[in-house]
Structure 1
Amino acid sequence: MSKLHILEDNEVKKLRPDVAYKVEDLSSHPDQYMKILFKELDSRLRDKTFVPPPQRVFDVVDIRSAIRYLQEAKHIGKVVLKYPEPNAQLHNSHISLTFKLLSASATYVITGGCGGIGFEVGKWMLKNGAGHVVLVGRRSPECRVMREIEQIRSSSETEGVLSISQGDIGDMSYCEKLFSWIETKWPTMPVRGVIHAAGVLADGVIPNQTPESFLTTQHPKVRGGWNLHQLTKDINLEHFVVFSSVVALLGSPGQSNHALANAFLDGLVNYRQSLGLPATTINWGQWGETGVAAGKVVNMVKPFSTKAGLKALEYSLKSGVSHVSPVDIDIDALGNSMLAPWLTTYLENIMNSGRNTRRNSNVSKWESDSDSLWYKLKVCGDSNEGRYGVAKPYVARIIEGLLKLDDELLPNESLQDLGLDSLMMIEMKNAL
């Protein structure tokens, strides 16, 4: 959708001889024609003749993160800013604007949702606008949880619907039946989000680990995560969130199988993003009030409250960040741990790998050597060739830093082809 870069017929035939190309200037057509055009477009989108490009959605208040994400060229498809929607108060005519994190006309599936953390997430989603939440678990909810579910269902203040499905998320046949059941029973509330919170522990030091103990932890997380990916990759999801663990990042004695299973989920998120699909992984620390680690002493971390955990989840969904780790590190315990020397080096390597060392070194070099630059320009004389020879490498280094190039910029390379956009142009101008 643009009035720039309109192709000629011969250009289209050269690029894509199989494509019919027609230019539509929407501003020049009558309203009736526009209605017909958009009705046809709506029909093609609904029957999936046309597939919309992938989207990464940010709230408009988080526009800085959206621009930064766009500038770093991480996106595939479109970066979308979401504006608040009018929210009429019940007892007066005042209209306020609110950001709806979840849709009242959509279904959200939570695996591991029949108790513990998953159930707390389900309640939170209903409070934040979800129209329908399906709690998935291998076993039926405990009596206490079931009483709370019935109370939510009967509450006049709760507009959403809470459903339960009992089954094994690692079993593809069950997963297919689950999504078919949702589609059939709630046809007007399509699945728009998945929270994969299922998981089990089978701890043991490596000599005591067995293939069975590894499969125990991998079944719900690895197979379950992959099943959910396969069944939702063609669905227009808002959120695909996997609950990983800080163990996948830092390790933990006796939990090599748990670390492996969660590392797979982190990799799955990276894979989905490479396909332009929504995906977020959260490497959780210790939930202190619910879940399998509640009330336990966990090495090197401190527990956080359920309220803090849900706040971290909200941040993850709103920010558009694909990988976060809400964890309260116990610094004192970390310093006394036998893993401290290894962990310190490991964290330093991570921090260094996240930096563009070439860019940092280039910037510091040119900033500290600005006097030398001006001196060279002064002594080179007034010839254009001399001044060009001095300025060219300086500008090239700035561009290499902005584009994070591993190799030196070639003389005749197109900066647009390398990814230099208008925002980077402004940054380059400021640097110069």
Structure 2
Amino acid sequence: MSRSVLVTGGNRGIGLAIARAFADSGDQVAITYRSGEPPAELTALGVLAVKCDVTDAEQVEQAYKEVEQAHGPVEVLVANAGVTRDQLVMRMTEEDFSAVLDTNLTGTFRVVKRASRGMLRARKGRVVLISSVVAMLGSAGQSNYAASKAGLIGFARSLARELASRNITVNVVAPGIIDTDMTRVLSDDQRAAIMGQVPMARYGLPEDIAASVRFLSSDDAAYITGAVIPVDGGLGMGH
């Protein structure tokens, strides 16, 4: 049966690949986006695009109302929306730190809390949070980003314990170095240095992440909750 799926930050990169994968499977998919315009292909796939800044609780509430009116209560939530503001700690401002935490961690709390209403009533649901390999490894110049992504793991595991009795699973996918707009701006030397750390010696594809998210959202993963799935070509070695 077609499910109501919501992917935050689904207008490009990993989020877009996830939205496309669910739409191709016949699910009713909605995405949120903060700026710009969603790709035309989403319209062609029947994906509902809702403008929403996850740092604004009122916008989150309005986005859910639009999605629920169109597709019914959200049954699968993929919390993917995130930002970076990289800087060494000595030069990082409090605003740079708090802005990343508010989007990546508190924004996830907002969208998950809202989705859990309908899931609890239905006594079923799937929640997948998109973290990062840097949550476990750390990354110089990304203390704010790493902290936010590590926070998602504790949040997910606590939530998994709260919701498991209602047949709601909560899991985390931790991507490694993925071929997106964010990584394409790196210099050849930077790319070579990164590849030297990845046992599979290549960048991952957004579709690699989408495949893992779809699995965790499927009936085949009904007994998996509180898990962190690294999709990183061996970069983190499971940490």
Q: Is the TM-score greater than 0.5?
A: yes
- TM-superposed CA distance for 1:149, in Å, is 2.5
> Corresponding residue for 1:239?
126
> Corresponding residue for 1:283?
174
- TM-superposed CA distance for 1:316, in Å, is 3.4
Residue pair 2:18, 2:209 contacting (<8 A) in 1 also: no
Residue 54 of structure 2 corresponds to residue 169 of structure 1: yes
> Corresponding residue for 1:206?
89
Higher relative contact order, chain-length normalized (CA < 8 Å, sep 6+): 2
Aligned positions, number: 216
Residue 233 of structure 2 corresponds to residue 328 of structure 1: yes
> Corresponding residue for 2:26?
129
Moved more, 248-257 or 215-224: 215-224
Q: Distance in 2 between matches of 1:242 and 1:268?
A: 10
DSSP-derived class of the 1:271 partner: helix
- TM-superposed CA distance for 1:182, in Å, is 2.4
List runs of 5+ in structure 1 lacking aligned partners: 1-102, 153-160, 331-342, 351-432
Residue pair 2:21, 2:211 contacting (<8 A) in 1 also: no
Residue pair 2:73, 2:118 contacting (<8 A) in 1 also: no
Instruction: Kindly provide the amino acid, as one letter, of the partner of residue 152 in structure 2.
Output: L
**CA deviation string 1:380-405 (max 9, x = no partner):** xxxxxxxxxxxxxxxxxxxxxxxxxx
Instruction: Kindly provide the amino acid, as one letter, of the partner of residue 239 in structure 1.
Output: R
Q: Distance in 1 between matches of 2:185 and 2:93?
A: 27
- TM-superposed CA distance for 1:291, in Å, is 4.6
DSSP-derived class of the 2:139 partner: coil
Q: Distance in 2 between matches of 1:282 and 1:239?
A: 13
**CA deviation string 1:246-277 (max 9, x = no partner):** 00011111111000010111111011112024
- TM-superposed CA distance for 1:165, in Å, is 0.6
> Corresponding residue for 2:63?
178
List runs of 5+ in structure 2 lacking aligned partners: none
- TM-superposed CA distance for 1:176, in Å, is 1.1
Q: Distance in 2 between matches of 1:191 and 1:307?
A: 22
Residue 73 of structure 2 corresponds to residue 149 of structure 1: no
> Corresponding residue for 2:140?
253
Instruction: Kindly provide the amino acid, as one letter, of the partner of residue 167 in structure 1.
Output: C
**CA deviation string 1:309-358 (max 9, x = no partner):** 3333334334325211111246xxxxxxxxxxxx9xxx89x7xxxxxxxx
Instruction: Kindly provide the amino acid, as one letter, of the partner of residue 80 in structure 2.
Output: A
> Corresponding residue for 2:14?
117
> Corresponding residue for 2:99?
216
What root-mean-square deviation, in Å, do the aligned CA atoms of Structure 1 and Structure 2 show? 2.4
DSSP-derived class of the 2:156 partner: helix
- TM-superposed CA distance for 1:124, in Å, is 0.6
- TM-superposed CA distance for 1:295, in Å, is 5.8
Moved beyond 4 Å, runs of 4+? none
DSSP-derived class of the 2:10 partner: coil
- TM-superposed CA distance for 1:201, in Å, is 0.8
- TM-superposed CA distance for 1:244, in Å, is 0.2
**CA deviation string 1:208-227 (max 9, x = no partner):** 11111112211221121111
Larger Rg: 1
